[in-house]
């Protein structure tokens, strides 16, 4: 290789390094510009539980609101806890809902349907007005439920009607996961090994909103950069450490825990070694998953 070729190679490498450093510096500067971060965390241990259907007294499942107000008219996300062996009478709801199993086994279907027990990480939807039952089995049974408009009410089957929607029961084994090679939501430049890549699944999209599941591999360290004015994230399984901006306090997020933000935000998060984490995200904006080097 002559001196001209060596010089050309040196220039190319220098430019590449410079571009990489410039990109990292600009990203870091952008993060620093978030002077008043809106990041907020609610731990599962901080959830306030109350009867989901007070009319049923002690027979009612327990509910714990995470965000919104299920008794008001606004969109809401809440947890529902069922006793082992619980089975509801046939009923309808006045609003449609989406739900994800967080613990135990849940069945939700037509009153005459054979039981299809959905394990943690499974997803289902229930159209408004459709008669159904909900059942649970396991030492601990918890689901995350969200509605696009409240209030959330339980009504008798005599009031049933067809709103045109059809229910979905998606067992976790049928969820399609995409790695960094299949989606730009995962920053490809930060992923060295696709085997250990974060993964994402697309569940639904409606009126500018969408719901995704994010799977962080064991030992993951990195950040989720979000831009939506609406950003709700619920831990479905595993355990994640979340670093609060400014104070840098570390909060352990177990299943049922939640973090949120408004506008541009950086969520520094890591998974415990030997345990992958699954997170459900509802947002009206873009977000990017960036894996830290190492």
> Given this model, what pLDDT does residue 22 score?
43
Q: Examine the domain organization and report whether 56 and 168 are in the same domain.
A: yes
Last-in-domain residue among 128, 146, 173: 173
Domain boundary pick from 119, 153, 173:
173
Does 181 share its domain with 169? no
Same domain, residue pair 66 and 184:
no
Q: Are residues 228 and 201 part of one domain?
A: yes
Q: What is the pLDDT along the chain (294 residues), one digit of tens a residue?
A: 554 443 344 433 343 434 444 444 444 444 555 788 999 999 999 999 999 988 888 889 999 999 999 999 999 999 999 999 999 999 999 999 999 999 999 999 999 999 999 999 999 999 999 999 999 999 999 999 999 999 999 999 999 999 999 999 999 999 999 999 999 999 999 998 888 899 999 999 999 999 999 999 999 999 999 999 999 999 999 999 999 998 999 999 999 999 999 999 999 999 988 899 999 999 999 999 999 986
Q: Domain for residue 6, yes or no?
A: no
- One domain for residues 98 and 67: yes
Are 87 and 130 part of one and the same domain?
Answer: yes
- For the entire predicted model, the pTM comes to 0.88
**Total domains, the chain:** 2
Of 142, 173, 204, which residue is a domain's last?
A: 173
What integer pLDDT is reported at residue 26 of this predicted model?
41
Q: Which domain holds residue 113?
A: 47-173
Residue 16 within a domain: no
pLDDT of residue 168: 96
**Does the residue 3 lie in any domain?**
no
Rounded distance between C-alpha atoms, residue 81 and residue 34, angstroms:
37
11 domain residue, yes or no: no
Q: What's the token pair of residue 284?
A: 């009206």
Indicate whether 108 and 160 sit together in one domain. yes
Q: What is the pLDDT of residue 108?
A: 98
**270: CATH:** 2.60.120.10
Distance of alpha carbon 156 from alpha carbon 159, whole angstroms: 6
200 and 100 within one domain: no
């Amino acid at each position: 290789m002559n001196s001209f070729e060596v010089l050309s190679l040196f220039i190319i490498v220098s430019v590449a390094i410079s571009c990489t450093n410039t990109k990292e510096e600009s990203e870091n500067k952008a993060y620093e510009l978030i002077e008043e971060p809106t990041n907020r965390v609610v731990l599962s241990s901080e959830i306030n539980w109350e009867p989901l259907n007070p009319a049923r007294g002690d027979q009612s499942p327990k509910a714990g609101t995470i965000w919104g107000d299920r008794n008001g008219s606004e969109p809401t996300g809440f947890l529902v806890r069922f006793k082992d062996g619980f089975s509801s009478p046939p009923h309808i709801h006045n609003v449609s809902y989406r739900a994800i199993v967080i613990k135990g086994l849940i069945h939700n279907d037509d009153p005459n349907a054979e039981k299809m027990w959905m394990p943690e990480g499974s997803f289902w939807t229930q159209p408004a007005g459709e008669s159904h039952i909900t059942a649970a089995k396991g030492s601990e049974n918890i689901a995350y439920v969200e509605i696009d408009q409240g209030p959330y009410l339980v009504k008798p089957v005599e009031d049933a009607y067809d709103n045109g929607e059809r229910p979905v029961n998606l067992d976790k084994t049928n969820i399609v996961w995409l790695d960094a090679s299949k989606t730009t939501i995962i920053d490809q430049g930060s992923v060295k090994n696709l085997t250990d890549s974060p993964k994402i699944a697309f569940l639904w999209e409606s009126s500018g909103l969408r719901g995704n599941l994010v799977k962080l591999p064991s030992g993951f360290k990195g950040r989720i950069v979000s831009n939506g004015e609406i950003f709700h994230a619920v831990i479905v399984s595993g355990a994640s450490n979340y670093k609060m901006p400014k104070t840098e306090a570390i909060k352990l997020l177990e299943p049922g825990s939640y973090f949120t933000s408004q506008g541009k935000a950086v969520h520094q998060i890591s998974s415990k070694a030997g345990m992958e984490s699954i997170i459900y995200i509802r947002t009206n904006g873009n977000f990017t998953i960036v894996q830290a080097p190492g």
